[in-house]
Structure 1
């Protein structure tokens, strides 16, 4: 299985999340639960926002996009992981590259969308009188189009560079899915260009968007502190606290994974970190936004009432 000629590498052997056989059932239930909650939660938010006209605002428009990205991410990773736990630990070369493509796409789209959401909160709190003008339907559509387009461009470049590599040292992926860092570690071709492009993408998409988001929140906090009433401060902060929690968790794990050279990839630690942005974050996103948002709660009640009547 190891030390193969490139022409013979038609599939990869994926080690999975854990090699401890006595824990496979426990991990299977854990990841199946995460996937079920992530899928149902994001679909429910999509339905709730779509069927409630009062929620047709920029903030919820971006929340729908976030749900679609989370569904793309978890559906790309978790089903194959569950299959791996049931005993099928191989993945074809084409399926591996496809999985990497869609995951990288969702990863880039998510960080870009976080920036768009931060800008929306910045305008809402710092420029409330001009909000309807600065965040009109055309602006929202352009921001969403930019999110999806730039993320597609990023994943297309990185995936094209991956397809140029030869895999002749080993076909054993020491991870639970096909991600760029562990795949680069397997290549017998020079990966310098790939690592440079990954680094550039991480600086631009990861650290760049993180800095813009933090700058937005610095302005937001400054504006909130100028509000005289305590109730007004609480109300203003509640509109952006959920987004700040999600962003902090997501960025810390993504930047940690991609800002380093592939040679420093450490299997066990990086697997745990990867779980956070591939499974845990998509699961928590709908819960955080739903449980902390009164408008969404009201919309959910209307949806449940509608289905009860049916």
Structure 2
């Protein structure tokens, strides 16, 4: 005989950072889903005989790539896309990472928000209730000291975000650049390499994936050469203290014509003259291009 679980069918994870900000997920609009077009938190329904904890850990990893310790916080009532009512077991955990590094395979984006800002957002109703509850019950976090950003020589280890960047050059010497959408979390309306953050993959595999996803370009791993590395901290548009390592690969050959496949992230692709770069440019992208033109293979930005 199968014993049906009495746990709530839905699960969700409220993630908080050391500054007391909440990681919110902007859900797709114009789709038949729960709370379309609102800011909510990652989660989903149990599958098969999963427990709530197993489900929320799976959903959090699938939606963000994160595995963090979670504790039960509360159970809330919610309505499905067809008006049916159910319950959601909400868990709470802490994470101090960079929201722009999260893969976001579902929905639009992840972003950190202080609790007071949520009043001005189009919030999922039950998520707003969960944040209000957490504000009443959680201890006040101790913000990271602004006077002691991460620097070389500190004893505490910090993970570095690794990004991969495509240096695509035509026979006429022009290189491929994309103009980022004004609403993206990083460098809106700036020109940038075709680029992305690594998931659970090698650097070349990650760049090949990004090239196809973002622009419909096909590149073989044997045609990629690492031509520049840039290591940065508190650089230009990135002022969150998160160290970043950028790997710039040149593709000797490729197939396809650049097309905008992710219009919510990139408005257009252009072929630019490296000697007369368009403006505004992402600061480290321009620094890398200028260094490559001088034959240099390494750049540091923001380190003291």
Scaled by the length of structure 2, the TM-score of the pair is 0.20
More helix by share: 1
Scaled by the length of structure 1, the TM-score of the pair is 0.19
Structure of higher RCO (CA pairs closer than 8 Å, 6+ residues apart): 1
